[in-house]
């Protein structure tokens, strides 16, 4: 039951994360700068979580070691958002998304090399199918608009998105394997990740000397609050719980629901069309998710060995 709940939370996390374009694009079109959008996203989500924790009377007290560990992990999380968004200025978002989705592979590599995790054949197959699905979902390489006629990808944009592969994989593994924070309540951990992210983006605005944009109208406020609640607070909270329940590798693989949700939202709200490669990509992603669930079910049904600690 615990693993099923973890699978469900991982799917919810990646699916809700795919709602980011639905709320962020209207803000950007309304004249709110990218750095300000990121700050509002994390500030409002931290505020909502803080109010909730206060009502529930959950202590926000952490030790210095716990605070440092959380802030260090948040740097990886915030860097992912910063560099992935920055890469869109140099390479098409479809290509960036495809490259970024190499992170489940790196998560699996980290877990095998540093934590001796055994990865099943189903998970390996799921990783391959998920990456292929994202590749087709984003239109492959043919959708490039910033590459030259030979299909070259600007080096700066490529390096930025490759960096997100490392930073996001490190964050996912760190949440699961950092001893100082393993015992911290998931809601409290989410609160500090959100607060630290808001602080980092505020510092980014100040260091760059960029203008801090105010929200111009009620519609912008609504979009900012929705961005803070659905693809940020809910996504981050379910991600942390999923990692603790089913592990880093499985959670990372199920991240393939993120680009799938983004494509579906584009079709429903922005009038985008679903072509044959995208349809094939969606099918591959569903197969990948099925393989992950199958692998978890086999693990749950396997009789515990002497070395198993149980769940």
| Burial profile 13-51: b = 16 or more Cβ within 10 angstroms, e = fewer | bbbbbbbbbbbbbbbeebebebbbbbbbbbbbbbbbbee
Residues 25, 34: Cα–Cα separation, whole Å: 10
The radius of gyration of the chain from alpha carbons, rounded to an integer in Å, stands at 19
Between 122-136, 247-261, 293-307, the lowest mean confidence (pLDDT) is in 293-307
pLDDT at 70 over 90: yes
What's the confidence (pLDDT) of residue 139?
Answer: 65
What pTM was computed for the model?
0.84
Question: Is residue 311 assigned to a domain?
Answer: no
pLDDT at 13 over 90: yes
Residues 58, 54: Cα–Cα separation, whole Å: 6
More confident residue, 235 or 153: 235
Output DSSP code: residue 179: G
Question: Is residue 50 assigned to a domain?
Answer: yes
Residues 128, 284: Cα–Cα separation, whole Å: 10
Tell me what percent of the residues of the chain surpass a pLDDT of 90.
51
What's the confidence (pLDDT) of residue 209?
Answer: 84
Task: State how many domains the chain has.
Answer: 1
Q: Which residues span the domain enclosing 238?
A: 2-300
What's the confidence (pLDDT) of residue 306?
Answer: 45
**Averaged pLDDT of the chain:** 85
pLDDT at 274 over 80: no
Question: Is residue 257 assigned to a domain?
Answer: yes
Residue 242 sits at φ, ψ, to 5 deg, of -65, -45
Question: Is residue 305 assigned to a domain?
Answer: no
Question: Is residue 307 assigned to a domain?
Answer: no
Question: Is residue 306 assigned to a domain?
Answer: no
Between 95-99, 118-122, 246-250, the lowest mean confidence (pLDDT) is in 95-99
What's the confidence (pLDDT) of residue 228?
Answer: 95
């Amino acid at each position: 039951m615990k693993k099923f709940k973890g699978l469900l939370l991982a799917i919810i996390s990646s699916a809700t994360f795919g709602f980011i374009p639905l709320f962020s694009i209207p803000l950007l079109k309304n004249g709110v700068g990218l750095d300000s959008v990121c700050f509002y996203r994390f500030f409002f989500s931290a505020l909502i979580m803080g109010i909730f924790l206060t009502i529930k009377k959950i202590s926000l007290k952490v030790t210095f070691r716990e605070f440092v560990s959380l802030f260090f992990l948040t740097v990886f999380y915030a860097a992912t958002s910063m560099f992935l968004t920055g890469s869109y200025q140099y390479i098409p978002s479809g290509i960036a998304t495809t490259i970024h989705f190499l992170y489940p592979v790196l998560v699996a590599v980290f877990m095998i090399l540093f934590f001796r995790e055994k990865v099943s054949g189903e998970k390996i197959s799921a990783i391959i199918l998920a990456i292929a699905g994202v590749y087709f979902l984003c239109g492959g390489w043919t959708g490039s608009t910033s590459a030259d006629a030979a299909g070259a990808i600007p080096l700066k944009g490529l390096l930025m998105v490759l960096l997100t592969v490392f930073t996001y994989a490190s964050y996912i593994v760190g949440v699961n394997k950092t001893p100082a924070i393993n015992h911290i309540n998931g809601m409290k951990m989410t609160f500090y990740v959100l607060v630290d992210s808001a602080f980092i983006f505020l510092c980014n605005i100040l260091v760059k000397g960029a203008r801090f944009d105010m929200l111009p109208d009620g519609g912008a406020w609504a979009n900012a609050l929705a961005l803070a609640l659905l693809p940020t607070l809910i996504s981050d909270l379910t991600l942390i719980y999923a990692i603790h329940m089913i592990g880093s590798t499985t959670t990372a693989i199920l991240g393939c629901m993120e680009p799938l949700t983004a494509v579906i939202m584009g079709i429903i709200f922005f009038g985008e069309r679903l072509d044959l490669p995208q349809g094939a990509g969606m099918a591959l992603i569903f197969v990948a998710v099925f393989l992950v669930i199958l692998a978890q079910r086999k693990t749950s049904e396997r009789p515990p060995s002497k070395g198993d600690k149980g769940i």
